[in-house]
Amino acid sequence: MCGRFTITHPNEAIAALFDAVLGNDLPPSPRFNICPTQEVAVVTADTGRRLRAMRWGFLPSWYKTPTDGPLIINARSDTIAAKPAFREAVRQTRCIIPASGFYEWQTSDDGAKLPWYFTRTDAAPMAFAGIWQRWEKEGLALDTCAIVSTDAGPNMAALHHREPVILEAADWPLWLGEAGHGAAVLMKPSAAGVMGCHRVDRAVNSNRAEGPGLIEAVVA
């Protein structure tokens, strides 16, 4: 779940929204088909808020190479605190992964994969709850992240059983560790009406596709 997303808002606008220092290594925006293993913009608050680049694909400390095990792009909220790969990160290095929207797929009666595009109904950027950590082996260092997922809420349940944890602005300090403990309560489905969606062209099924036409509505 949440295997592709977009960022159409400028990096400068995202940094201003989160009151974060703008990094000089950020991937360009807009991007209409962000895929796993690519670099994404991430908000951290370890030494003040920063908008910085990370690899989307969390690497546990025991991986000897970036391809040593399964590609981890999501972390389930119900097991994140117990899984050895995530339990330290969810306590110490939580982050926010900004997005303008994300894609989810529905399987038709004939087996075709039909993409839908989800955005906030208020047109604001989404703030995905995330975790991150630095992976280092033999001189190679990568900052890597994953999106936290939870059970589908009323906006998603008809299409898929999982959705990304989408944080509201008032909850950003708690998730980033700026407002004490107790962030676990934030790992919940989005409230009814927060997200809307529309069908988009199957061109986005290719991870090589790009361009604004990918998010344009088509007849369902």
* Structure confidence at residue 97 (pLDDT): 98
Q: For position 111, what pLDDT does the model report?
A: 85
Q: Would you give the DSSP letter of residue 189?
A: P
Q: How far apart are CA 212 and CA 220, in angstroms?
A: 19
Question: Which active-site residues does the annotation give?
Answer: 2, 104
Alpha-carbon gap, residue 141 to 62, rounded angstroms? 14
- Closest to 74 (Cα-Cα) out of 62, 87, 66, 86: 86
Separation between Cα atoms, residue 186 and residue 179, nearest integer Å: 13
53: which strand partners?
41
Distant-in-sequence, close-in-space partners of 31: CB < 8 Å, separation ≥ 6 = 6, 7, 8, 210
Instruction: Give 177's contacts (C-beta < 8 A, 6+ positions apart).
Output: 45, 92, 94, 183
The pLDDT profile of the chain, 220 residues, written as one tens digit per residue, is 679 999 999 999 999 999 999 999 999 999 999 999 999 999 999 889 999 999 999 999 999 999 999 999 999 999 999 999 999 999 999 999 999 999 999 988 888 899 999 999 999 999 999 999 999 998 899 999 999 999 999 999 999 999 999 999 999 999 999 998 999 999 999 999 999 999 999 999 999 999 999 999 998 6
Q: Give residue 200's Cα distance to chain centre.
A: 20
Q: How far apart are CA 194 and CA 124, in angstroms?
A: 10
Cα separation, 14 vs 75, in Å, equals 24
